[in-house]
Amino acid sequence: MSTAMLHGSRIVPVVVIDDAAFAPDLADALAAGGIPCAEITLRTPAALDAIRAVAGRPRFAVGAGTVTTAAQVDASVDAGATYLVSPGFDEAVAERAAHHGVPFIPGVATATEIQRAIAAGLDHLKVFPAAAVGGVPALKAFAGPFPDVRFLPSGGVSAANAADYLALPSVFAVSGSWMVPSTALAARDADTVRALSAAATAAVAASAPTR
C-alpha cells in the first residue's frame, strides 16, 4: 500500500457531505485543484450515495471515512469506495476490509495501537487526533521504533502546518478538511473548493517526497 491508492496525492480531503448530488462537482473541483482523491466520511445519511456518485471516476480515488464496523465496510465497498479509513483500530473491521481486498487505514494514537495494527498486517496508519497526541514531535517519536510504518496524520492538520507533517519521511499523506469547509459544501461552492485545493497543493509542493 502507498499513495498509489490515492492516485499519488499527499493530501486527503475529509469530506462531511449532506448533499450527494454535489459530490460529482466536488470531485471535479478537488481534481482541478490538484487533489485526485477524497475521504467521504460516514457521518451523514448522504455519505454512501455521495461515494456511489463519484465511484469509478477516472483518475479519482474515493474512500470511505469514519468506518467503525464490519457492516460499514461492506456498505462502503458496495458503494464503490476504493479505500477505507477509521478513527481507531478494530480487528473485525480490519478483517472485513482484508476479506474485500480493500486498503484499510486504521486510526492509532499510541505505540500499543501501532503494534496491534502491525500484527494485523497493516503498515499505513492514521495518527488521530494528530495535534492532540503531540503533532510533529509525536510522529518523529513513533518513527523510531516503527521505521517501516507510514503515517497519515489527521486531526488538527491545517494549511498552516500540513507541510511540516509532510516533511517527515514517515508521513505518506496528510488528512484534513480545510479545503472542503462546511460553508462551501452547504453552498455547493465548487469554486472555493477548487481554489483552496490549489492553494493546498501549492503549499505542500516543496515538502519531502514519500518513500
Identify the active-site residue in 91, 95, 126, 140. 126
- Rounded CA-CA distance 61/195 in Å is 20
Query: Which helix (DSSP H) or strand (DSSP E) does residue 22 occupy?
Result: none
Assess whether 95 carries a catalytic annotation.
no
Identify the active-site residue in 39, 91, 113, 140. 39
Assess whether 140 carries a catalytic annotation.
no
**Catalytic residue numbers, as ranges:** 39, 126
